Structure 1
Amino acid sequence: MNVLVINAGSSSLKYQLLDTKTREVFAKGNAERIGIEGSFIGHEEYGKKDKLEVELPDHRTAIKHIFDILATVDEKPEGIGHRVVQGGWYFPESAVVTDETLGWVREVAPLAPLHNYAEADVIEICREMFPELGNVIVPDTAFHYNMPERAWRYAIPRDVVDTYHVRKYGAHGTSHRYIWRTVDEFMGGAAHKLVSCHLGSGASLCAIEDGACMDTTMGLTPLDGLIMGTRCGTVDPATVFYLNRVAGMSIDEIDTMMNKKSGLLAVSGVSSDSRDVCAGAAEGNEHCAMAIEMFCYRVGQLFAEMAASMGGVDTMAFTAGIGENSVELRQGVADKLAWLGVKIDPELNTIRSDDPRVISTPDSAVTVLVVPTNEELMIALDVEALLG
């Protein structure tokens, strides 16, 4: 089945047209700087790349340009899959778009205002432009929806939890689900207790026992958990009250600081990009070195938390931008887990490949893999399952 996968952000719109059977990607691209001066669409078709500088005042204009571009591609979409960041309390799994399910995406948008509103708008536009095509909502939170109550419930009054739906929702669920599926296939069913390490600009760990999510590091929002590119990760909640009362910072200012001005960027003082931070550390920058130390420390610390949620661990998988590409940070995390018997082979760790691969030593207590993620394929497979 040919599926068009759409991932709408607050000022961007990524797309990919692929075949679920052969896994061939016919075309892909990204509309960037939507609503901002200097907008453009980067498009790739059969390996040929092109850049179109066009005015993109809104997502409606962007999606129209994208459909115009895709009209020149021989293969046509038979269904559309939409990545939705926050499914809230409505989506334990992916769902076909109806008036009701689209309304749910908007209803839970306060939990992810920068993403859900834009995603709902794009879904609406696709339905208007191509009413003959079915659309499917694939929420990032769905994989975590049925984790044990002990993991998702917060120790705050039940009436607050029930009225305002305050709980751990997690994120990166589509990626973690793909990693489990791939690891299970690659290892022939030998993996049972997996910690999936999605490490990128946004980062989270997920404890997966025989395919079921047992816990994850992100919480009500993607701000919780690990140190990330610009997000602080877990801090004492009272930090917000303190900065509001003593520093006179508004809630919006604290929100912006913790989401966009913290993490590796804040600690290193150099960049939110781990490559820049690693380069700075290699050159002797102490702040960069501390940023790397803190990142690996937190991954190691929360890895143990994820393992505890399953009563053990037999497999770990690195994925996403940092997890797939950073030799230094994979080694740094492994060093923090040496007490658990984790050992990776330095030579295997340096190999680059688009295929899943084992990088641990034969005597490692935990099998360590690098698994390139493919959220687009996972979304496309859901579309096929629901519409095919």
Structure 2
Amino acid sequence: MNVLVINAGSSSLKYQLLNTEAGQVYAKGNAERIGIDDSFIGHQEGDGEKEKLVVELPDHRTAIKHIFEILEKVDVPVDGIGHRVVQGGWYFPESAVVTDETLAEVREVAPLAPLHNYAEADVIEICRDLYPDLGNVIVPDTAFHYNMPEHAWRYALPRDVADGLHIRKYGAHGTSHRYIWKAASEFTNGACHKLVSCHLGSGASLCAIDGGKSMDTTMGLTPLDGLIMGTRTGTVDPATVFYLQRVGGYTVDEVDTMMNKQSGLLALSGVSSDSRDIEEAAEAGDKNCQMAMDMFCYRCAQLILEMAQSMEGWDTMAFSAGIGENSDVIRAGVCEKLAWMGVKIDPELNKVRSGDVRRISTPDSKIDVLVVPTNEELMIALDVEDLLGDK
């Protein structure tokens, strides 16, 4: 089945057209600066060179039209569309076919992810309007974590408040964690039973996966919780919010912006939110950047053990996403802090760059340590095939 996977943001739209059986990617790209000056579409076919097409993109509807026009030249029929939805809220324990009802539910839970869900719902509506003969599927990032044990997802708030307002740990990156489990299981021939999945990128989360089921994860009600990220604080004392308002004089919106967009590695380093810039500056002697890296590795190691505890042990850990797949320095820093638990990696294997799943632990390591390049698009496409394949 040929599936078009769409990942919509407030001013961007990423896409990938792939075949579910062969895993072949026919084309992929991104529409950037939608509704902003200097908009463009970056498009790549197969292993070819990426083209930059300068086009006016006043809105998502225009962007989608351009993308379909581009894909017509690829000459591969689109059989269905899969939409990454950041927040499925209390409605989606699994992926779902788009109907009027499910689309309304995506909008209803949007306050939990306002920068993403509203745009995603708009794009789904546009696709249904422009291409009524194509089926659409919602693939929420939160679905994989929906059935975590209650002791993992419930917050210690008054029940009437928590239940009435649907306040719980929802997590994120579920589609990526699901893929990491699948790839790790296949690579180890089923020897992976209790996996700590480390999706480390600009947004970062860990997940405890026992036999394919999410037992706990580090992001909470929103993607702000958990590990330090590019511009997000990660876990802080909740009273920090009250203190900033009462003593600092900041408004709710200002605190929201500070914690989501002005904190994390950006604030710690004073240089950048990009780990590559931070690593380079640290190597050149920048103490703040070195501290940022040390804190990231320290907190990541702590959270790995939290995830392991939720499964009462772990046999495998996997690094993935932008930082996890590409930064041998961060991987080494995290594993060094877990050496007392018997985690050992081979320095030479750790430096290898590859697009394949690979092992970086030594034969005598008590924990199998893998690097797993994630593939959320494939997981989304497989869900589309599962739900629409016989239609």
Residue 38, structure 1, aligned to residue 38, structure 2: yes
| Identity fraction in percent | 77
Aligned counterpart, 1:80: 81
**Distance in 1, Cα, partners of 2:276 & 2:49:** 27
Aligned counterpart, 1:183: 184
Residue 26 of structure 1, CA deviation: 0.5
Residue 222, structure 1, aligned to residue 223, structure 2: yes
Residue 188 of structure 1, CA deviation: 1.0
**Distance in 1, Cα, partners of 2:118 & 2:64:** 15
Runs of 4+ in 1 over 2 A off after TM superposition: none
Moved more, 52-61 or 297-306: 52-61
Structure 1 SS opposite 2:195: strand
Residue 5, structure 1, aligned to residue 9, structure 2: no
**Distance in 2, Cα, partners of 1:38 & 1:159:** 49
- The one-letter code matched in structure 2 to 1:45 is E
**Distance in 2, Cα, partners of 1:333 & 1:78:** 43
Residue 309 of structure 1, CA deviation: 0.4
- The one-letter code matched in structure 2 to 1:15 is Y
Residue 205 of structure 1, CA deviation: 0.3
Aligned counterpart, 1:310: 311
Structure 2 SS opposite 1:195: strand
- The one-letter code matched in structure 2 to 1:21 is E
Q: Give the alignment's Cα RMSD to 1 decimal.
A: 0.6
Residue 226 of structure 1, CA deviation: 0.2
Aligned counterpart, 1:144: 145
Structure 2 SS opposite 1:71: helix
**Distance in 2, Cα, partners of 1:364 & 1:160:** 46
Residue 275, structure 1, aligned to residue 276, structure 2: yes
Instruction: Give unpaired runs (5+ residues) of structure 2.
Output: none
Aligned counterpart, 2:175: 174
Residue 259, structure 1, aligned to residue 242, structure 2: no
Aligned counterpart, 1:97: 98
**Distance in 2, Cα, partners of 1:336 & 1:222:** 25
**Distance in 2, Cα, partners of 1:217 & 1:232:** 13
Aligned counterpart, 1:379: 380
Deviations 1:218-267 (A, max 9, x none): 00000000000000100000000000011110010000010001001000
Aligned counterpart, 1:17: 17
Alignment of 1:96-135 (within 5 A): 96-135=97-136
**Distance in 2, Cα, partners of 1:336 & 1:26:** 42
Deviations 1:348-375 (A, max 9, x none): 1011111111100011010000000000
**Distance in 2, Cα, partners of 1:215 & 1:197:** 12
Structure 1 SS opposite 2:74: coil
Aligned counterpart, 1:365: 366
**Distance in 1, Cα, partners of 2:230 & 2:193:** 31
Residue 73 of structure 1, CA deviation: 1.3
**Distance in 2, Cα, partners of 1:256 & 1:55:** 29
- The one-letter code matched in structure 2 to 1:96 is V
**Distance in 1, Cα, partners of 2:168 & 2:280:** 38
TM-score under structure 2 normalisation? Answer: 0.99
TM-score under structure 1 normalisation? Answer: 0.99
**Distance in 1, Cα, partners of 2:129 & 2:26:** 24
Aligned counterpart, 1:29: 29
**Distance in 1, Cα, partners of 2:119 & 2:340:** 45
- The one-letter code matched in structure 1 to 2:261 is K
Residue 48 of structure 1, CA deviation: 3.0
Residue 161, structure 1, aligned to residue 162, structure 2: yes
**Distance in 2, Cα, partners of 1:56 & 1:261:** 28
- The one-letter code matched in structure 2 to 1:219 is G
**Distance in 2, Cα, partners of 1:106 & 1:86:** 10
**Distance in 2, Cα, partners of 1:186 & 1:50:** 34
**Distance in 2, Cα, partners of 1:352 & 1:239:** 40
- The one-letter code matched in structure 1 to 2:33 is R
Aligned counterpart, 1:350: 351
Structure 2 SS opposite 1:15: strand
- The one-letter code matched in structure 2 to 1:375 is E
Deviations 1:275-311 (A, max 9, x none): 0000111011000000000000000011110000000
Instruction: Give unpaired runs (5+ residues) of structure 1.
Output: none
